[in-house]
Structure 1
């Protein structure tokens, strides 16, 4: 068995090559116009009371944005539960609320449920809020998918396809900023599918693969809360990165707290597993937890494998093959170095600088 030190050294060589490839891609992205700065004061307000000069729905406020896509559009959303399935395709949109526990954007839908055209929604289509444009900001609000995952699991006739995304940052999304938000679901809560993202001072809650996708994301000073689901044994997986192998950095969790709902057993949740979506061999998941506190629900092995289909057969992508690492883990869920739980050295941390995550973009 190779030592953790050797496995990390080998990974560093891979990181060095991938960094050059990724930064070349960032140089191409640099030809895009610089992001506009959102206005400090909202352009419009959405309120339940429907007073003069306000909108009664978030969708109506989005539809009222000026035709010039370079103009920032800041929507202040008042207290209340806003049950709307939202799709944001315009750049420079800011959604600000009255507080995480006061402004709640929600929808209840799952991948296996039927669309109006009788097809299934699918994982991406299940999102309560979908963003497909650059320079999106959300602050002081909650985004939830309230599909009843637990009840569906307990029903003998429950739907097959319980993925229920709260927020999806999809094709076209880039330079997204989420501050002081709560993103809550069960399976597949936060889909970081594309672009570059900062998530700061926020709560992300779920059970199975609840932070997943191929984006380059810094998740900083957040609570990462694992939720209990029916059954014994493995209760969930925090992250499921599907990072392209040419991209040096995927998900970086820094100074986060990994907590759990009451009753979630010790050792029942993995830090993550590498997702090779669609059997795409170019995907080599990258996720790192740096200076994070972990409760005892984290499995001693840290990471585990994930299956994928390849030429009609099933295969496994293992943690040793992927890019899954830790540094400075603390708390009862932290573990010692092993073949699956690879610990970075101080010198390795340069790989996870924001310049490698975001290139020339530095969010304010």
Structure 2
């Protein structure tokens, strides 16, 4: 009898304890959310809203605070909420660099993309091979080259390989790159997710060298195909592989006022997702662009869901008369919502970045 009474009482207590644990867990999550949200609102120096709060200097000769970029990043406290500038001297930094998710508000400033470079040569797989990985929100880079040298032959007799070997992998929201360069052959730039802005950047590769599910604007960038230079045996290249997967997914790649150049022949993109979206506006397309322009890839017979747009472009590769029949045309009002910075910046985060020009 005691056992039969004891069991229901224990179960009742267990239920109450479980309920209390759920409440405590919920409170913890709410507090954590507000803590992270606050941390992600990066604070500018009160004396001058365009200045960073602190500068860390990286110089391989030992004249700075650190000799490596990774050591400089490691020195920044977790959940930092003030803009910290890492000023990187000219040089070829042979290191693999990772910014973890709990270190937002970092401004990496090099001496110029021709003077400051971060180089590595991993090729294990897409998730591990990136020379530079950025996971937190609110990251800015200026005047730096990011290179994965594995696929890029260093001499006429070097073995040519076309394999995934990333230069950069970007996870965080509100990330911006100014006057940077990205070098690779396959999967150069993994624009994974989140809202990103690339201004006056150079990006090169042969296969899917701008790919992912990012919601990004590429403005005044040079996009350079190198398939004909480094992998002439490869029949056709692919510039983009955008991974939008549903009709309500806000992601997409927008290229405006860009120049598409290169060696060999390439598609402007292929569908990495069932609702892949790429818009090219007022850009110059070289004769490297194949006449058909776009590839449905795994989504043949579902092309109606793909949104590929070319508007007001010029150059020998801009003739759309032989493009795929499912190339979209958007009205002026539809097009405008993608061309305006508000597509990636409704709350004005770009204006709040530390001064980069």
TM-score by length of 1: 0.76
Q: Which protein has the larger Cα radius of gyration, Structure 1 or Structure 2?
A: 2
Which residue matches 1:43?
55
Instruction: Find the partner of 2:146 among 143, 146, 163.
Output: 143
Q: What is the root-mean-square deviation of aligned Cα atoms in Å?
A: 2.7
- Counterparts in 2 of 1:239 and 1:319: CA distance versus 1, 3 Å: farther
Which residue matches 2:236?
235
Matched, 1:70 2:87: no
- Cα distance in 1, alignment partners of residues 86 and 303 from structure 2: 42
Q: What is the 5 A alignment of 1:257-276? A: 257-260=259-262, 264-265=263-264, 268-276=265-273
SS in 1 for 2:177: strand
Instruction: Find the partner of 2:294 among 296, 300, 303.
Output: 303
Q: What is the 5 A alignment of 1:19-34? A: 32-33=37-38
Which residue matches 1:9?
none
Q: CA-to-partner distance for each residue in 1:202-239, whole Å, 9 max, x for gaps? A: 10111101000001000001011111243456331111
Matched, 1:85 2:69: no
TM-fit CA distance, 1:323:
1.3
TM-fit CA distance, 1:155:
8.8
Q: Kindly tell me the number of residue pairs found equivalent between the two proteins.
A: 302
- Cα distance in 1, alignment partners of residues 151 and 233 from structure 2: 19
Conserved? CA contact 1:149–1:162, under 8 Å: no
Q: Which has the higher contact order (CA 8 A, sep 6+)?
A: 1
Q: What is the 5 A alignment of 1:84-123? A: 84-89=95-100, 90-111=103-124, 122-123=125-126
Mark the runs of 5 or more structure 1 residues left unpaired by the alignment. 1-27, 112-121, 277-282, 308-314
Q: CA-to-partner distance for each residue in 1:233-253, whole Å, 9 max, x for gaps? A: 633111100013222441000
TM-fit CA distance, 1:191:
0.4
TM-fit CA distance, 1:345:
3.4
- Cα distance in 2, alignment partners of residues 204 and 176 from structure 1: 17
Matched, 1:125 2:128: yes
Q: CA-to-partner distance for each residue in 1:84-117, whole Å, 9 max, x for gaps? A: 1111011011110011111101110113xxxxxx
- Counterparts in 2 of 1:189 and 1:242: CA distance versus 1, 3 Å: same
Mark the runs of 5 or more structure 2 residues left unpaired by the alignment. 1-32, 46-50, 352-357
